[in-house]
């Protein structure tokens, strides 16, 4: 029986199902339909000429580029889940990063970027932003409040990604955002690993949160999309840049992503359970030097992860004891369930060698063995263990044959 005194706010799983649902506008259909639309017809010239009135309803459909009910519903649910003010969709995670940064950076500005960001973020900063006369400096992701000593009069943005790509360093985000706020600097966080469910950016002082919706939000390895979720004071500027750059996302992709967000909580909890169980099993293997998973008690970032995050998704890495490249390839190439491929966040398990040392400038990565990035998919745990076990046998056999 429902307790009439129950004043709790609905939980994440509930809001993932109830927010961004406009069935009443769609004949009661549970799912918001796909609107294929560029031209939107207006009843008369007055209405047409007032279509860009800044006071128009946020959900007013005026031109396909600027959104349809399907787009608005997805934007609403992701913004709500993370506790943001509003959100826009873009065609990829990388577009979310570039549009967010371009919203706040101008020639002559200075940008601070975590040394462990997704490598294409680094290329965008070094090759595109630097070309428009933005100075880029990389910082140790573990710098915490020490970021203050790196701030210059021209610093406009601090970019964070936590945990870091490939190596999973956990940043002290509240410490960094407190310093940024004091200096009037905007913080942009790549929150893809956590999704809006496992890290609530805005209650930790972040100004803009970017996501590769390509990963868990869409969740089936068949969509490319990004989302930029904003605190209220950053919304107008991001929305304007999004508009100027002509960003929009195809309606079918929006539909399937909205469909996937409805069960994000269930999927993410399953990825978390699977990832942690695999990480624990891997940490017992003699071939493994280190497991880089923030959910493990012996991970350097575990205390901060536990303090700030609400869960761990299914992506982590392991560092092997030194073996020949041939032995590592014998292991990885022969895997049957952990497949080789870029991206992550779908239902399937993945394993790829990664080379963190190629993407560091402020810190060193000096592990002597190979680093393998693993995505824990939703297959049966025992089948994944059998695949890993056979992989380690190939690694050992190839090593003995060296
Ligand atoms: C942490 C992170 N951010 C952003 C992206 C970019 O996403 P997309 O492939 O949709 O551009 C990726 C892709 O792997 C990623 O791992």
- Per-residue pLDDT tens for 349-369? 999 999 999 999 999 999 999
Give the pairing of strands 110-114 and 135-139.
parallel
Q: Are residues 237 and 362 in the same domain?
A: no
- 2 domain-assigned: no
Q: What's the total number of domains in the chain?
A: 2
Which atom of ligand 1 lies closest to the CA of 193?
A: 1
Longest dimension (CA), the chain: 80
Exposure of 51 by Cβ count < 10 A (0-12 exposed, 13-18 middle, 19+ buried)? middle
User: What CATH code is carried by the domain that includes residue 396?
Assistant: 3.90.1150.10
Is 292 a residue whose pLDDT tops 60?
Answer: yes
Per-residue pLDDT tens digits for 225-275: 999 999 999 999 999 999 999 999 999 999 999 999 999 999 999 999 999
Exposure of 273 by Cβ count < 10 A (0-12 exposed, 13-18 middle, 19+ buried)? middle
190 lines ligand 1 (CB under 6 A): yes
Q: What whole-number distance in Å separates Cα of residue 303 and Cα of residue 11?
A: 24
Which atom of ligand 1 lies closest to the CA of 165?
A: 1
156: which 2 tokens? Answer: 């406009």
Q: Are residues 245 and 379 in the same domain?
A: no
**Cα end-to-end distance, the chain, whole Å:** 67
- 23 domain-assigned: yes
Residue 171 DSSP symbol: P
Using alpha carbons only, give the angle 8, 208, 180 rounded to the nearest 5 degrees: 105
Q: Are residues 28 and 85 in the same domain?
A: yes
Boundary-marking domain end, from 209, 237, 261: 261
Per-residue pLDDT tens digits for 145-189: 999 999 999 999 999 999 999 999 999 999 999 999 999 999 999
What confidence tier does 7 reach under pLDDT thresholds 50, 70, 90?
confident
- 7 domain-assigned: no
Q: Are residues 236 and 286 in the same domain?
A: no
Q: How much is the pLDDT for 239?
A: 97
Is 282 a residue whose pLDDT tops 60?
Answer: yes
- DSSP track, 349-391: -EEEEE-GGGG-SSS----SS-EEEEE--SS-HHHHHHHHHHH
Arithmetic mean of pLDDT over the chain:
96
- Return the residue whose CA atom lies nearest to atom 8 of ligand 1: 93
Is 78 a residue whose pLDDT tops 50?
Answer: yes
Which atom of ligand 1 lies closest to the CA of 342?
A: 14
Q: Are residues 254 and 310 in the same domain?
A: no
- 377 domain-assigned: yes
94 lines ligand 1 (CB under 6 A): yes
What confidence tier does 1 reach under pLDDT thresholds 50, 70, 90?
very low
CA 361 to chain centre: 23
Per-residue pLDDT tens digits for 90-136: 999 999 999 999 999 999 999 999 999 999 999 999 999 999 999 99
- Return the residue whose CA atom lies nearest to atom 14 of ligand 1: 343
What confidence tier does 337 reach under pLDDT thresholds 50, 70, 90?
very high
Q: Are residues 208 and 320 in the same domain?
A: no
| CB neighbour list of residue 355: distance below 8 Å, 6 or more residues apart | 371
User: What backbone phi and psi angles, to 5 degrees, belong to 352?
Assistant: -140, 145
Q: Is the dihedral of CA 284, 288, 293, 294 positive or negative?
A: positive
Which atom of ligand 1 lies closest to the CA of 94?
A: 11
Residue 109, classed as helix, strand or coil, is coil
261: which 2 tokens? Answer: 């967000």
Give, to the nearest 10 degrees, the angle between helix 381-400 and helix 325-333. Answer: 150
225: which 2 tokens? Answer: 């999309």
- 43 domain-assigned: yes
Is 400 a residue whose pLDDT tops 90?
Answer: no
Residue 66 DSSP symbol: G
Ligand 1 mean position to 92 CA, how many Å? Answer: 8
What confidence tier does 3 reach under pLDDT thresholds 50, 70, 90?
low
Task: Give the pLDDT mean for 302-328.
Answer: 98
Ligand 1 mean position to 93 CA, how many Å? Answer: 5
Q: How much is the pLDDT for 63?
A: 94
User: What CATH code is carried by the domain that includes residue 163?
Assistant: 3.40.640.10
Q: Are residues 96 and 238 in the same domain?
A: yes
221 lines ligand 1 (CB under 6 A): no
CA 371 to chain centre: 21
Q: How much is the pLDDT for 394?
A: 98
Ligand 1 mean position to 212 CA, how many Å? Answer: 5
CB atoms within 10 A of CB 358: 9
Q: What whole-number distance in Å separates Cα of residue 379 and Cα of residue 155?
A: 46
User: What backbone phi and psi angles, to 5 degrees, belong to 263?
Assistant: -115, 25
% of the chain exceeding 70 in pLDDT = 98
Ligand 1 mean position to 282 CA, how many Å? Answer: 25
- 92 domain-assigned: yes
- 357 domain-assigned: yes
Q: What whole-number distance in Å separates Cα of residue 259 and Cα of residue 31?
A: 7
278: which 2 tokens? Answer: 């695999």
Ligand 1 mean position to 335 CA, how many Å? Answer: 24
Residue 175, classed as helix, strand or coil, is helix
Q: Are residues 362 and 274 in the same domain?
A: yes
- 224 domain-assigned: yes
What's the domain range around 131?
Answer: 12-261
Residue with the two structure tokens 């930790």: 204
Q: Candidates 123, 208, 212: which one to mutate for ligand 1, based on the most atoms within 8 Å of Cβ?
A: 212
What confidence tier does 6 reach under pLDDT thresholds 50, 70, 90?
confident
- DSSP track, 217-262: TT-SS----EEEEE-HHHHHHHHHHHHHTT----HHHHHHHHHHHT
């Amino acid at each position: 029986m429902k307790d009439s005194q129950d004043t709790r706010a609905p939980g994440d799983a509930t809001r993932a199902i109830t927010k961004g649902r406009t069935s009443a506008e769609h004949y009661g259909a549970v799912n918001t339909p796909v609107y294929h639309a560029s031209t939107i017809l207006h009843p008369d010239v007055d209405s047409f000429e007032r279509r860009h009135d800044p006071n128009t309803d946020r959900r007013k459909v005026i031109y396909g580029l600027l959104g349809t009910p399907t787009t608005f519903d997805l934007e609403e649910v992701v913004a709500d889940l993370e506790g943001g003010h509003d959100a826009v969709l873009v065609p990829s995670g990388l577009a979310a990063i570039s549009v967010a940064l371009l919203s706040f950076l101008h020639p002559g500005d200075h940008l601070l970027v975590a040394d462990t960001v997704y490598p294409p973020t680094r290329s965008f900063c070094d090759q595109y932003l630097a070309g428009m006369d933005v100075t880029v400096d990389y910082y140790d992701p573990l710098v915490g409040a020490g970021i203050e000593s790196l701030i210059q009069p021209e610093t406009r943005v601090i970019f964070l990604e936590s945990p870091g790509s490939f190596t999973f360093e956990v940043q002290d985000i509240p410490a960094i955002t407190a310093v940024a706020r004091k200096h009037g600097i905007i913080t942009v966080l790549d929150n893809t690993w956590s999704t809006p469910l496992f890290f609530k950016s805005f209650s930790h002082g972040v100004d803009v949160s970017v996501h590769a919706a390509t990963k868990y939000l869409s969740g089936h390895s068949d969509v490319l999309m990004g989302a930029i979720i904003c605190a209220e004071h950053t919304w107008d500027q991001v929305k304007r840049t999004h508009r100027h750059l002509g960003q929009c996302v195809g309606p079918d992709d929006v539909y399937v992503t909205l469909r996937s967000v409805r069960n994000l909580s269930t999927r993410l909890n399953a990825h978390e359970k699977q990832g942690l169980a695999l990480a624990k099993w891997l940490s017992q293997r003699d071939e493994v030097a280190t497991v880089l998973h923030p959910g493990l008690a012996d991970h350097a970032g575990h205390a901060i992860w536990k303090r700030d995050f609400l869960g761990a998704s299914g992506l982590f890495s392991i560092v092997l004891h030194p073996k020949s490249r041939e032995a590592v390839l014998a292991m990885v190439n022969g895997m049957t369930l952990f497949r080789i491929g870029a991206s992550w966040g779908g239902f399937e398990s993945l394993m790829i060698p990664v080379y963190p040392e190629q993407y560091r400038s402020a810190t060193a990565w000096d592990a002597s063995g190979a680093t393998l990035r693993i995505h824990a998919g939703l297959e049966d745990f025992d089948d994944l263990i059998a695949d890993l076990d056979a992989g380690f046998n190939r690694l050992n056999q190839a090593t003995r044959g060296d």
